[in-house]
Structure 1
Amino acid sequence: MIGDFFESILNIDSKIFKTLGALFIPGKLTEAYFRGQQKRYVPPTRLFFVMAVIHFAVLGYLAFGQLEDQMDDMANETRYEAFYSDFRTDLDTVRANLEAQYAQVPQLKEALDTLEAKLEDPRKDSFNLVYFTNSNEFGTFESVSLPVSKQHLIEMPLDSLPGAYGVEGFWHQLQVRQIAKLNREGGDFTRFALGKLIWMVALMMPALALILKLLYIRRGHYYVEHLVFSFHYHAFAFLLVSVLLMLAYWFPGYFNSGEVAIPLGMLGIMLYLYKAMRRFYRQGRIKTFIKFCIINFAYLTLFTFFLILTAVLTTLTF
């Protein structure tokens, strides 16, 4: 069984190697799929999800790991200040008792003032918890800044927090609870959000295919052809960006992520999309370039919309 497994995976005639080889030629895999050569290659949906899982695993290892640590540090800092507030309250009680017991010692007040001056007082600071409300008859939203004690932010039960600060309404209270939970468990939120990003990109595919259908409506392609094209294009994009990010991680001196890896990845993805559109849809350079610009603008709009929607839904369901 082990021998058969490695033979099927490492065999040069394996579907994996054939699929990857065809994937690096823009448009070839989609073209071959609709010529009836489905059995030679990995199915489009499976290829898309495999590459998406690999891509987000790389992101989780490289970028989201650091973000998770930063969120945890922020939560721990707030938790420290909340617990330190209890200490300062106890210190005030001890001071009041000492001043009452040793009122005849003139140096005591000066000594206690000097001690307190050296100790920070986190009770003076509050956390500005921001939530959104429907502000007027036109349906626009505005943000509301709610100063919350850091001690309450960490220690108070989430169901009691909105009512304690006079927040009314189901949606307002839900926002306050979820944002408070986010500040308590920020590291867990990054892992939760990462899992949702895969489904965000998957849900974008039908919308992107619809835009392609409208752009090429006179070419007579079926909707599913545009959908498969989108799957193959994103599979390549996931693979290319993942490889470049790993190279930037392993060889930072040669593949700096901000200066080399990301610009190179964007250039490669855009060039691949243009060449794939030329090969699969078989139109001239000028028409293809115009539609290439339109699809990039539409893609940016779609991505922004789905990203905001995913961020809101992820925050509310965390």
Structure 2
Amino acid sequence: MSSTASHLDACENCTTALQGDFCHQCGQSAHSPVRSFGHAIEEVFESFWHLDGRIFRTLRQLLLPGRLAADYLAGHRTRYIPPIRLFVIVAVLTFFVARLAVHVDAGTFVDKTPAPPEVATAFKDARTSEEVEKARRAHIAPLETARATMPESLRFTMDRAIAKIEKQAAKRNEELAGQPAPTPSATPTPPPRAETEAPRGYTPVDIDFLPGFANRWLTGQAEIIRLNLPRISERPQLLVNAFFASVPSALFVLVPLFALLLKLFYLGSGRLYLEHLVVALYSHAFLCVALLGILLLTMLAGQRPDVPVVGTLIGLAIAALLTWMPVYLLIMQRRVYGQSWLVTSIKFMALGWLYFTVVTTATVFLAIASLARI
């Protein structure tokens, strides 16, 4: 179909009379992609190259400290991806890659610590099954006593220690008898509770200044964490995945908080809170890009562990990135707010200390919350 046939006299969206290739009322193109195959193909490539150009232009400016934020705040916005969109894309991509790059093998924290030397020696010196049993009881008794005084959520550690001793005792009995001993269960059986021991369960959370529903919610979360601890000990990757999956959500709280700190530190700058938020979004977007680079370099190093020079070069590159990150933020703060290096440095250190404290606290809470999300 010809281009004339595909060019309309009135906008199909708002019925306004057309005066060019685009509607001056709503901005819709005068060319209908459903009436011309050529215009359909043109629209696809035009959208792709337009977006592609904005992506590369935005990333190029982002790598220069403060250039993108200053340009955006100066009113040059059309040529760049909006800060919130850029931040969301980069953050989600970075922590998705983090889940792939950071891997903890199953069983890393299970059965990796050898039994104390005195335990192995006691079983080695035993010459009869009675001596083995005597040594077994002597070493298990204090563990059972300690287990009875521990919180329910931590008793699985004692259960594993007891299971290790049971396994060594069975192995020595096998050597003495000259025949295989019964293989102990993969899941250690907790020793029987004494009659005076409290029944299994959990202690309700009762914080005076919190309302009842909050205490009930915390109690439920604590119980979920208690039940998850043995599973995490067996498969620590579950905790890693849950943690990295939660980070982007946490950043949506931390970034506005960082913008608020910028507002407080630059009260006399005349900038609005939303302008500080733009600075916060772009600075965190850069940090995510730098972290993404570190993760990719780490994955690359893992592919060639047999070539020492590769590991050395990648290590130097990672060290350079880690060094550049705070330097970038300092230069960005100086360029955007235009104060002297001395004043900027003082504010940068004070702001960095406050925000580091907030991030550290948030990380601890996020790690605890991740225990309940598995």
Q: Counterparts of 1:1-318 in structure 2 under 5 Å? A: 8-9=47-48, 14-62=53-101, 64-65=102-103, 67=104, 69=105, 72-74=106-108, 124=140, 146=155, 148-150=158-160, 154=187, 164-165=199-200, 167-169=202-204, 171=219, 173-250=223-300, 253-254=309-310, 256=312, 259-318=315-374
CA contact (8 A) 1:248 1:254 kept: no
Tell me the alpha carbon deviations over residues 179-220 of structure 1, each in whole angstroms, 9 at most, x when there is no partner: 234335533332222100122223210111111111001111
> In the alignment, residue 230 of structure 1 is paired with which amino acid?
A
CA contact (8 A) 2:297 2:318 kept: no
Tell me the distance in 1 between the aligned counterparts of 2:159 and 2:242. Answer: 27
Tell me the distance in 1 between the aligned counterparts of 2:359 and 2:262. Answer: 15
**Which range is displaced more, 225-234 or 237-246?**
237-246
Tell me the distance in 1 between the aligned counterparts of 2:203 and 2:294. Answer: 49
Tell me the distance in 2 between the aligned counterparts of 1:300 and 1:255. Answer: 30
Q: Which has the higher helix share?
A: 1
CA 12–57 in structure 1, closer or farther in 2 if over 3 Å, else same: closer
3-state secondary structure, aligned to 1:38: coil
Tell me the alpha carbon deviations over residues 124-160 of structure 1, each in whole angstroms, 9 at most, x when there is no partner: 497999x999xxxxxxxxx99546534899589xxxx
CA contact (8 A) 2:63 2:286 kept: yes
Tell me the distance in 1 between the aligned counterparts of 2:150 and 2:55. Answer: 48
> In the alignment, residue 230 of structure 2 is paired with which amino acid?
A
Tell me the distance in 2 between the aligned counterparts of 1:2 and 1:253. Answer: 48
Tell me the distance in 2 between the aligned counterparts of 1:167 and 1:7. Answer: 61
3-state secondary structure, aligned to 1:57: helix
Q: Which runs of 5+ in 2 are unaligned?
A: 1-39, 113-126, 164-184, 190-196, 206-218, 302-307
CA contact (8 A) 1:51 1:235 kept: yes
Tell me the distance in 1 between the aligned counterparts of 2:98 and 2:358. Answer: 21
**Which range is displaced more, 40-49 or 143-152?**
143-152
Tell me the distance in 2 between the aligned counterparts of 1:311 and 1:32. Answer: 37
- How far residue 316 of structure 1 moved from its aligned partner, in angstroms, is 2.7
Structure possessing the higher relative contact order (Cα contacts under 8 Å, 6 or more residues apart): 1
- Identical aligned pairs, as a percentage? 24
- How far residue 276 of structure 1 moved from its aligned partner, in angstroms, is 0.8
CA 187–243 in structure 1, closer or farther in 2 if over 3 Å, else same: closer
- How far residue 13 of structure 1 moved from its aligned partner, in angstroms, is 7.1
CA 59–164 in structure 1, closer or farther in 2 if over 3 Å, else same: same
> In the alignment, residue 227 of structure 1 is paired with which amino acid?
L
Over alpha carbons, which structure has the higher Rg? 2
Question: Structure 1-normalised TM-score?
Answer: 0.68
Question: Structure 2-normalised TM-score?
Answer: 0.58
CA 276–153 in structure 1, closer or farther in 2 if over 3 Å, else same: farther
Tell me the distance in 2 between the aligned counterparts of 1:180 and 1:13. Answer: 47
3-state secondary structure, aligned to 1:40: coil
- How far residue 308 of structure 1 moved from its aligned partner, in angstroms, is 0.8
Q: Which runs of 5+ in 1 are unaligned?
A: 79-109, 134-142, 157-161
Tell me the distance in 1 between the aligned counterparts of 2:128 and 2:42. Answer: 79
